[in-house]
């Protein structure tokens, strides 16, 4: 029987989009979605779902054995903003989680593991413009600390044990289906809901805070392309820089106003401003482009048009 795919953190922003994409590509029964919280109804009804806490080693091993898992997408994590309010939880879930998943993957001879990293691996000492692939990694958030350690651990398991661990440094991900789970880039999703519902948004970052961002279809494409890439072509493994677009809240507001002219945004920066100020503005992703053919499809204008179209339809149907 062919081996199944396990997704941890499947109820989250990325998991709830990646799981259906994997099911469409490999078959609904082949993809086991797991999380500690209920997934969206469509995801629960469309294939296997198990409650799974990634800090529980025995529970991870049991699911891997029960479903004959050959590939893991390990998405479960605590993101940057929640991580700064609960650093101990971020350490436990992010680092204990990835260590346990890698250990069990090694023991059970899992073939491939996807472990997403983040632009949060960079810190205030890193060049912020066109941030190089290989550069200073001294983050000032607990989230960033766990992501650097996770990248290094994944590379260690590849070199030491031959476990094929792959990962990208996602920028802020924007999506129309599931709300983000507590990051610094969340404003770039929330703003659409408020623009459509109230024509008004109060942004928790300064208007000139430029950050790297990506639309969900590109995030899914990058993830699946990297996982299907020829291993022989990969010079990096767990730490690919990835770029699609960079913009500030003011840029995003101006683009939304092309569709909703009376939309107004106020700015009240909070503790997340300091996190954003420690991250890159733009990213050099040549390694991803050269080693596995990465190319994004969506720029700011195309993303905004698609977001407003999708969310606008849900609003008109009374579903927002």
- The residues of the shown chain that bind ligand NAD, judged by CB under 6 A, are 8-9, 11-15, 35-37, 52-55, 75-77, 79, 93, 116, 118, 170, 172-173, 180-183, 185
When CB distances are held under 5 to 8 angstroms depending on the partner's kind, the choice from ligand NAD, ligand AKB, none that residue 80 binds is: ligand AKB
Q: Which is nearer to ligand NAD, 101 or 198 (CB)?
A: 101
Residue 181 partner contact from ligand NAD, ligand AKB, none using kind-dependent CB cut-offs of 5 to 8 Å:
ligand NAD
Stretch (H or E) spanning 308? helix 300-316
Q: Provide the sign of the torsion angle of the four alpha carbons 63, 24, 238, 89, taken in this order.
A: negative
Known catalytic residue at 143: yes
Q: Minimum distance from CB of 245 to ligand AKB (Å)?
A: 14
CB of 298 to ligand AKB, least distance (A): 17
| Residue closer to ligand NAD, measured from CB, 53 or 291 | 53
Judge contact between 236 and 294, C-beta under 8 A. no
Which stretch of DSSP H or E encloses residue 102?
A: helix 97-107
Closest CA to 119 of 148, 87, 158: 148
- Which residue in the list 67, 73, 143, 157 is annotated as catalytic? 143
What is the Cα–Cα distance from 307 to 311, expressed in whole angstroms? 6
In the complex, least distance from residue 180 CB atom to ligand NAD, rounded to whole angstroms: 5
Q: Among ligand NAD, ligand AKB, none, what does residue 116 contact (CB within 5–8 Å per kind)?
A: ligand NAD
**Residue 260 in 3-state DSSP?**
coil
Q: 182: alpha, beta or left, given left = phi > 0 and alpha = psi -120 to 50?
A: left
State the Cα–Cα distance between residues 295 and 286, nearest whole angstrom.
10
Q: How far apart are CB 279 and ligand AKB at their closest, in Å?
A: 7
Decide: 111 and 3 in contact? Cβ < 8 Å: yes
List contacts with ligand AKB (CB under 6 A). Answer: 79-80, 118-120, 143, 172, 183-185
- Comparing CB distances to ligand NAD, the nearer of 154 and 180 is 180
Binding partner of residue 36 among ligand NAD, ligand AKB, none, CB cut-off 5 to 8 Å per kind: ligand NAD
Location of structure tokens 């309010």: 85
Q: Which is nearer to ligand NAD, 53 or 306 (CB)?
A: 53
C-alpha 182/C-alpha 295 separation (Å) is 27
Q: Catalogue the active-site residues.
A: 143
């Amino acid at each position: 029987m062919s081996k199944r795919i396990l997704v941890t953190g499947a109820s989250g922003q990325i998991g709830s989009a990646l799981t259906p994409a994997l099911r469409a590509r490999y078959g609904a029964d082949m993809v086991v979605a797991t999380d500690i919280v209920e997934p969206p109804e469509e995801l629960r009804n469309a294939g296997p779902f198990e409650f799974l806490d990634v800090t529980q080693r025995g529970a991870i091993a049991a699911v891997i054995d029960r479903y004959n898992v050959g590939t893991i997408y390990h998405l479960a994590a605590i993101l940057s903003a929640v991580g700064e309010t609960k650093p101990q939880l971020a350490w436990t879930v992010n680092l204990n989680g990835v260590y346990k998943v890698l250990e069990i993957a090694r023991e059970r001879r899992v073939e491939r593991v996807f472990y997403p990293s983040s632009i949060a691996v960079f810190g205030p000492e890193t060049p912020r413009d066109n941030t190089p692939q290989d550069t200073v990694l001294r983050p000032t958030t607990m989230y960033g600390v766990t992501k650097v350690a996770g990248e290094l651990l994944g590379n260690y398991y590849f070199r030491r044990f031959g476990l094929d661990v792959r990962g990208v440094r996602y920028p802020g991900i924007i999506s129309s289906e599931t709300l983000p789970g507590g990051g610094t880039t969340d404003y770039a999703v929330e703003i659409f809901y408020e623009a459509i519902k109230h024509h008004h948004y109060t942004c928790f970052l300064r208007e000139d805070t430029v950050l790297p961002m990506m639309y969900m279809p590109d995030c899914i494409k990058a993830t699946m392309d990297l996982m299907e890439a020829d291993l022989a072509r990969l010079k990096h493994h767990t730490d690919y820089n990835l770029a699609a677009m960079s913009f500030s809240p003011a840029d995003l507001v101006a683009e939304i106003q092309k569709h909703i002219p009376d939309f107004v945004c106020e700015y009240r920066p909070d503790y997340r401003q300091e996190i954003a100020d420690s991250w890159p503005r733009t990213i050099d992703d040549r390694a991803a482009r050269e080693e596995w053919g990465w190319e994004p499809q969506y720029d700011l204008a195309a993303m905004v048009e698609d977001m407003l179209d999708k969310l606008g339809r849900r609003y008109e149907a009374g579903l927002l």
